[in-house]
Amino acid sequence: MHLRLVGARLFNLIRLIRESGLHVYEREVGYKEIHRQLIIMIGVTGGVNSQQIVTLTGHEKAQVSRAIKPLEQEGLIERERLRAKLTLLPAGRKIYEKIMGMGRARDAMLTTGIPADDLKRFIAITEALTKRAAHLYAEERRLSVEAGIISPTSPQAAGPPSWPTGTKPPPPNMITPQLISLVALAAYMKRSAMLVYQRSHGLSHFQWQVLSLMAPIPPCRWRGSSC
């Protein structure tokens, strides 16, 4: 049953694609995954501000701020003022080109035998689902505020995300830049689910994850079990 759920299939797809290249990028490029995501996003779009990064990735604002700081300190990205667009400096552009070169090679292997029209549909569907998931998360935040689950002043209680306009689209038929959209989709779905399960059943994020993993398998002991 769980294999037919859109969320479960997407989480599995993201995990497999991400894990298949994680060690390669860490070895050849370095930096943490979120730092590479930011470099890709800034390079692809030509420049985005921190709020647009929050919307595009689904990461928390504080997490994005922490990730931006070391990239600025190392001279990879810059901005004229606090809320201005972030752009790549020459050193950051060099890393971006290396990541995209590796991405093209991996895409060639990943998409072999898949027609270009199918890839375009995949990209369009991913973008549409991400926007819907972002607004679904905003609605869950509103309901959680009304139910007293989160405070109206909490970052989780902010209004609906403002989807960036005027940014350049990723290169056509490339999966690597689209991973950011997939990560954002997964993040929004997970964060809205956290609020739903907390409001409906009083379950924490960890508790509902454990239950979702245990439900599809037969009853078994926690210790010393092979199930």
Model confidence over 26-77: pLDDT tens digits?
A: 889 888 888 998 998 898 888 888 888 887 777 778 889 999 999 999 999 9
Average confidence (pLDDT) over 139-165: 69
Q: Would the pLDDT of 168 be above 60? A: no
Q: What is the 3-state secondary structure (H, E, C) of the chain?
A: CHHHCHHHHHHHHHHHHHHHHHHHHHHHCCCCHHHHHHHHHHHHHCCECHHHHHHHHCCCHHHHHHHHHHHHHCCCEECCCCCCCEEECHHHHHHHHHHHHHHHHHHHHHCCCCCHHHHHHHHHHHHHHHHHHHHHHHHHHHHHHHCCCCCCCCHHHCCCCCCCCCCCCCCCCCHHHHHHHHHHHHHHHHHHHHHHHHHHHCCCHHHHHHHHHHCCCCCCCCCCCCC
Instruction: Specify the fold of 2-213.
Output: Arc Repressor Mutant, subunit A (1.10.10)
More confident residue, 216 or 86: 86
Domain positions in the chain are 2-213
Question: Which tokens is 189 given?
Answer: 């779905």
How much is the pLDDT for 65? 92
Q: Would the pLDDT of 156 be above 60? A: no
Mean pLDDT for all residues in the chain = 78
Model confidence over 86-126: pLDDT tens digits?
A: 999 999 999 999 988 888 888 888 888 888 888 888 878 87
Model confidence over 190-206: pLDDT tens digits?
A: 778 888 888 888 877 67
Average confidence (pLDDT) over 180-188: 71
